[in-house]
Each structure stands twice: as C-alpha cells, then as structure tokens.
Structure 1
Amino acid sequence: MTKESPGFLNERYRLKDLIGRGGMASVYRATDERLGRDVAIKIFELRATDASDIQRQQAEINVLASLNHHSVVTLFDVGVNRTEADGPQIYLVMQLVDGVNLRQRLEGNPMSTRHIAQIGYDLAEGLEYIHGRGVIHRDIKPANILLEEYSSDTRTHARLTDFGIALFPDSERVTNLGMTTGTAAYLSPEQARGEEVGPASDIYSLGLVLLECFTGETAFPGKPIPSAMARLLRDPAIPEELSPEWRHLLTTMLFREPGQRPSTAEVVLALRQAVIAETGRHRGAADHHLISDEPERLREIARLDILDTPADGAFDRIAALAARLFSVPIAIISIVDTDRIWFKSHHGLEIGEIPRDPGLCASAIMSDGPWVVQDARTDPRALANPLVAGEFGLQFYAGVPLTTRNGYNLGTLCVIDFEPRVITGPELRTLTDLAALVMSELELRLESRRVAL
C-alpha cells in the first residue's frame, strides 16, 4: 500500500482519496466497512520509527482520545498496520469533516465579518475546552482548521484538528526555536523565544488567524526564522476599517506579552457577542422573516390550518423515517405557536406539546438553516435549558426549520438523542430534504382543501 495506491487497511478500512499530506503523515478519506460510514485516516510515514517520532505519535493519540467537543475533530479508533514489508504503520481513524480547511477557504472570495465571527467563536470554544483539560495546541493555523458546511443555506462550523505537537498535562512546556514546535507564521512570541507556553500562546495564534481572515494576508510571511523573529520586533497591523470592538479584541489577543492577553473564556465571550451582533445585522438585511415578523409567521400557521388537526399518518411516517435514518430514539415534527410548541408527530415521545420557552424548536426557527447542538453539556446555547439540565436529559438536538415558500419558519423537523453525537453534512442534507417533504405535504393539503371548496 502506498499513498498513490490506497488499499484495504486491516480488513476494515477501505482507503479512497488522499486528502492531505504533511511531513510525517498522510490523511485519506476511507470507508469503515464494518460500520458503513466514511472516516478520515491519518497514516504515519514508514520513516517515523525512531523514538522521538513514536513518542510524538503516541502523544497525539493520547490527546485525541481524551477529547470530546463539537469544535474538535473526534478520534474513533487507533491501530497498527503490519502488512507493509518495511515495517508497521501507526494510524488514527478520525471523524471525516465534509468541507475544506481554512487555508483553502482563504484562497477564495473574501469572508464576511459574520462568517469570521462564527469561525472564531467555534475555535475559541474548542480552545476553552482543551485548555480546561491542560492541553495546549501549539499549532493553530488555517490548515489545521476544518470547515464543515451543514447545508448550502446555513453557517459553517469550524473544527480544530492536528494535535501532533500539542502539550498535555505533565508535558515539558518549554520550546526551542530550532525545533518543530509550530508553524513559523503563526507562532506566539513566547514560542519564538523558546520560553514556557500556556493557553495565551494559542490565543495569540488564533488572533493571527482571525486577522488573516480579515486581511487575506499572513501577518508575518517569509522564511521560518525571519518570520518567527518578526513578531518580537513589531506588532501586526490591525486594519483601521474594522469596528472598534474587533480592533480591541485583535489588538489584545496579539499583545506580545502573554500576561496582557485576554483569557480563553474572555475571548469566547467576546466572540459570542460578535456572532450575536453580526447575526442581528445579517438578519436585518436579509430577506428572511424571523422573530421580528412574528405576527406574519403566526398568520402563515393559521393559513395552513395545522394546529388543530388530528394525528397524521404521513407525518408519523416521516418522523419514524428520520428516527431510523439517524438511529435516534426521538424524532419530532413541531409547530411553534404563540406560547406552545405543538408536536404534530412525535416518534418515541408520548407528549404532544410543551411550553414555548424551554423548547429548542423555538430557537431553531430563528435560524436560517439547520440548528444543531451536538453536545448539550458543553454548548452554551443549551446547557442551562431545563430539557438538558433536568430529568429529560437531552444531550443532542438537530432541527431543520419548516419554511414556507415565502420564507416563514413555522416549526421544525428535529431528531433528539440522550447521548452527544456528531452529525455530518450529508446527514443534515437528508434531514433538510425530509423537512421539505413535510412542507410540500402541508402545501398540497391546503391546495386540496381549496379545490374541494
């Protein structure tokens, strides 16, 4: 088996396309024949056999195996391929993220401020999670940020990958400029000086990544050593046209002294506020009828005459199909009324309605597309929700708005689980298609009633 001719790994993983290649490993798209799902497999090169290489590989395995967060790529399996004549190969089986990395995205059209805020918020949440477990990534850069497109009309979700040089509890935290401890263009000043590194180092690197998203240019380009040393002599230029909030955030994240930078929690809060602000501006200009047009949305519900209808076999079949496709215990077709959420179909659930306030469907209808909580225990949008914190114990929610032809979100088709889980882009597209079937059925019934009259 070679990088150019993928094969069958340990009678389970069928290797397909080469996704990426680094100095010590290659990453393939593959199919897990046992579970019937696509995965990403990182195979370490045959030459990675001396003690330091093996130690570095084992360190990445240990780090990834301990992490479970929606902004960090999930590790599924670890193995050793012993079929090669030149020696064994360690490989990692990881979550496959459908999309491109941020480096590839930056080569395209300029990014909107809203998009940058969303990516930054995802990454800051991921850093807060790993920093809380004593892990320092040390290699935050665009190529190590994967962008997953849930569907064509919703936001991109960013995931952090490649923990090959990460530090974890009890690791030596002093680096050396002559060693491979990061990518020169994104090193923090303390990395460049060979000093002790902590969470503030990742914050600096994230600041450089966000700055590059705005400018389209690397702040410290050039060969490794001049690039690394440049940040010891000057601060990167922050564009004058950015808002005062963005200028303040980037300036503080990029202070040369680690102690002057904001904490990871402070960056999460700042970027959360940026997402809220940018989303509000986007919705104000977009041709969508969300919460600001609540009376019109309720009139659409009345037009379709769906609140007082009896149980419906067609909707029950769609909900049951969604539950089977996603292997979840609960699937719901909901309509969000003034103060209630009515469950027009509720596969796996006995109740037919709940108050509007705690319902996640009420949040989902304010989205332009799928609204996903992959781990409610860590997602700030849901962790205090009574359905999550209380006896019900909801841990996973994926809902697609039921949108009328003129743009009003009436309710959702959602799937629910009591365990956190990862949902892929193709899966969300399937859920979106099922939601479209629900809306087609509603409109068809309205037309049938009109003809009958």
Structure 2
Amino acid sequence: MTDSPQHPDGALLGGRYRLENQIGAGSMGTVYRARDEFLGRDVAVKVVRTAAATAEEQQQADAESKILARLNHHSLVTLLDAGTHLSGPGIQQLYLVMELVEGADLRLRLQDGPLAPRKVAQLGYDLAVGLDYMHDAGVVHRDVKPANIMLFDYRGDDARLRAKLTDFGVALIAREPQLQTGTFTGTAAYMSPEQARGHNVGTESDIYSLGLVLLQCLTGVPAYPGPALESAVARLLRAPAIPESMEAGFRVLLQAMTALEPQDRPSAHEVSLALYELAVTPRARHRMNQPLIPADEAERIAAVRRYNLLDTPPDGAFDRITALAARLFSVPVAIVSVVDTDRIWFKSHHGTDVEQIGRDPGLCASAILQDEAWVVPDARVDPRTLTNPLVAGEFGLQFYAGVPLHTRDGYNLGTLCVLDREPREFTRDEVLTLEDLAAIIMNDLEMRLENQRTLTS
C-alpha cells in the first residue's frame, strides 16, 4: 500500500491534530496545515504515503519515528511528534508533526537567479551543521533539495539569510538494513549516484545532494535537469559541470562533495568547517584584513592577559613540549601559539626562528574557533586553506594540525600545533596524543596562575 487516502479538512489525527488545509505534496506524502488542539498551536502534519501493512513493518516505523522525533537542532525544522492512524482495514499509516514554517523555500528563492557566494557559504554552513547533527544521530535525510530548505532572515535586512532543512519523510536510520534496494528514493535532480543505482545509501549521499544544491545556488541552474530517468542516469556518466571561473575554495569543495564514490566525499563536519571559512574569510578581507573573530573575543583576550604569556622570555618547559611534539609526529615545526588581537605570538617554537605573524594569515586563528583538533592533511587542495598565504606563498605549508589550548573557564588562548611542508595523514591516535600534550601545557599554566594568586593573596 503506497497511496494515502485523501484526508478531508477537519479530520483529527492522534486525537489532537485537526487538519485544516493542504499546503504541500510530494512523492512521499501530503503536508497539511493543522491545529494542535491540545496545546493550541498551529503545526504542519505530513501524512507519509508508505503504510505499514505488517506487524514487523509497524514496529520498524514506530522505532524510526521515535528517533526522528528526538532530533532537535537549530538547522532542522523541529519534528514535534509522530504517530500512526488507521488508514484502512488493518493498515497503520505514519504521520509526522512538525513546526509550521511561514516563509519561502530555497526553490522559490532560486527562481530570481543565483545567490552571492558568501550567502551560499552561509546557507551551506547552516545545512552542513544540521546534517552533521543528523548523521551523528545515525539518520540519513535522503532528500536534500531546494524545496526542502526553508530560508529565514531574522533581522529583516537580508544580510544573513539562515537555512533550515525540513521534510524527513524519506529519512532512514543509517545503521538499519535498507529494504528498498533497487528502487529510487529521493528527488532525481539531486540524488546521489548510489541512489540513482538503487543501492543502499549512507550519510555520504546527503553530502552529494547538498553539493548539487550549493552548485545550483552559485550557478542558478540545476546540474542535472530533465526527466527523472535521464537526470538520474546523467550523474553516472559525467561529473557535474563546475565553472572554472568559480572561486577556488568552492570549486575544490564541490568537486569533493560530488565525487562519484561515496568514500571520496568529505563528512558533513568537514564540509561545515570549509563553508565557515568561505563565509567568513571574504568578510575579513573586506574589513582591511581583520582576522577571524570568535563571538567571545573580548572575554577571550582578557583570559590571554590573565595568563601573562605575551612577549615573555623563552620557557624551557614549553620548549621541551614543542621539541617532543616534533619528534613524536616527525614534523619539522611545532609551535605553542597565543592568539592576540592582531597577531599570533609564538610562546615556544621548534624548527623556526619566527616569533610572531599577523593574525589573519595564521591558521591558529581558525583553529581557536574550534572546540577540537583542526587538521588539514593537504593544505594545497583543502578549501579551508588553499588560498592562505602560508600555503600559496614562499613558506609552502602543506600540513597543519592544531589543538586549542582550553582554559578551565572555556576560552581558547591559542594552540599547540605541528606543521609540515609535505602533506600527510594524521590518525585519531595522533590527535589524542596532541591533545594530551596540549592538556599538559594548560595544566602547567593553571598551576602557575594558581601560584601567582597564592603569592599575592
């Protein structure tokens, strides 16, 4: 049973959701504006066309709807509830209750033409962090497309559009077996090659679809137009056309996101980091090369001053840490950096005589924006770094791994980082070792600060 019956206005689902009028429809279901009579609020109710005809299918549908209902992220339209209703003799039909979004979707916005690159990076960042959250929860969306992306402009000046991903009607739990192998799931113009083949799909499929959406945002036209079958087959025969005139960072990122083989695509987390750089760096350059600024910059700088690190003499304890890091990871350069207002000062530097650099070109300024290790295996092709002067210039930086130096009250002073002029992989165990060394540095700093407080009290 795949077709849902028409639900008349006024129908009541789950004893509380009163359907008012149809506001959308797609291959996987029909969306109604509805009234939640229990809480007295307007909602959107999607009645999914696929029905559970057996007890096993019903149990699976219930389990998946419960997982989807727990998703809660600012880049996802909130799924408020899920349930089933009797749509026919012995047939339970799934419905999803979502927050009602008033506004245009990306499909309508693109009718006016392509978007500016910075706006594309901003919207893409919102979507990537939402997908990262979903994927971490083990959920694959499977239908990332402009019509499923809602746009918001909270300030009303169109300066920073935000995006939310909606419509989880075809989402699946990534770790569960997929029973529909050999059939299409998703929308032809944006489906991944593995979807086009009817194969099982994982989180990488969402990355491919998001890549096609971002490409259309930049060019104004879909990469694979035409009838469904023709569109689906086209991506198996050729890669999407990415204009040579496109900004290098976007070009490299989109080529990676739309790689034919799923294992060659970046994760949603990696995509979000790349898009963040693409969104922020042009703005920083426009403002006379100002550096990337964390939201808590004033408090962070106060923390830097508190530890009295800037412009202090060489320190044997920290020098031993950087020398040890260089030996452990077989890299020529290791640095303990402190990110100041307009510079990056090297408290300890092994393998280089440079004591400080400007904040804008320094990768440590990007690393302190993260709450975890920031690793760039090959800076020449990574969209986060390929235009950085340390990479493109005489220094020839190709590998960077930096761990933020976290204070106990949550500020990032700088980094412990290792650099190389050759690309290289950095394993999870190596990341953990670098984090341990950074923790030793911060423990030493905290002890010194505590001793100063004791002496002055």
Bin of the TM-score, shorter chain as denominator length = 0.5 to 0.7
Q: Which residue of the partner structure matches residue 168 of structure 2?
A: 163
Using the alignment, how far apart are the partners of 2:73 and 2:231 within structure 1?
Answer: 32
Closer/same/farther in 2, CA of residues 31 and 245 from structure 1, 3 Å limit: same
Displacement after TM superposition at 1:247 (Å): 0.8
Q: Deviations over 1:60-102 (max 9, x none)?
A: 5134123222212222122445699997654322122232222
Displacement after TM superposition at 1:173 (Å): 5.0
Using the alignment, how far apart are the partners of 1:291 and 1:262 within structure 2?
Answer: 26
Q: Which residue of the partner structure matches residue 147 of structure 1?
A: 151
Gap runs ≥5 in structure 1: 285-289, 293-335, 341-354, 358-379, 392-453
The equivalences for 1:122-271 within 5 A come to 122-153=126-157, 154-173=159-178, 176-177=181-182, 179-271=183-275
Q: Which residue of the partner structure matches residue 98 of structure 2?
A: 94
Using the alignment, how far apart are the partners of 2:103 and 2:73 within structure 1?
Answer: 18
Displacement after TM superposition at 1:7 (Å): 5.2
The equivalences for 1:337-416 within 5 A come to none
- Kept after mapping to 2: 8 A contact 1:3/1:26: no
Q: Which residue of the partner structure matches residue 449 of structure 2?
A: none
**Amino acid paired to 1:35:** L
- Kept after mapping to 2: 8 A contact 1:175/1:191: no
Using the alignment, how far apart are the partners of 2:38 and 2:286 within structure 1?
Answer: 44
- Kept after mapping to 1: 8 A contact 2:184/2:196: no
Using the alignment, how far apart are the partners of 2:198 and 2:18 within structure 1?
Answer: 42
**Amino acid paired to 1:266:** E
Closer/same/farther in 2, CA of residues 390 and 17 from structure 1, 3 Å limit: farther
Q: Which residue of the partner structure matches residue 430 of structure 2?
A: none
Asked whether 1:50 is paired with 2:62, we answer no
User: Scaled by the length of structure 1, what TM-score is found?
Assistant: 0.57
Gap runs ≥5 in structure 2: 305-367, 373-403, 411-457
Displacement after TM superposition at 1:113 (Å): 1.4
Percent identity of equivalent pairs: 49
Displacement after TM superposition at 1:20 (Å): 0.9
SS in 2 for 1:230: helix
Using the alignment, how far apart are the partners of 1:189 and 1:339 within structure 2?
Answer: 47
Using the alignment, how far apart are the partners of 1:112 and 1:231 within structure 2?
Answer: 26
Using the alignment, how far apart are the partners of 2:87 and 2:266 within structure 1?
Answer: 49
Matched residue count: 309
Displacement after TM superposition at 1:14 (Å): 4.2
Displacement after TM superposition at 1:273 (Å): 0.5
Taking only aligned residues, the RMSD between alpha carbons, in angstroms, comes to 4.3
Using the alignment, how far apart are the partners of 1:10 and 1:171 within structure 2?
Answer: 27
Q: Which residue of the partner structure matches residue 74 of structure 1?
A: 78
Larger of the two Rg values belongs to structure: 2
Using the alignment, how far apart are the partners of 2:223 and 2:298 within structure 1?
Answer: 51
Using the alignment, how far apart are the partners of 1:4 and 1:279 within structure 2?
Answer: 51
Using the alignment, how far apart are the partners of 2:21 and 2:239 within structure 1?
Answer: 41
SS in 2 for 1:110: coil
SS in 2 for 1:26: strand
SS in 2 for 1:130: helix
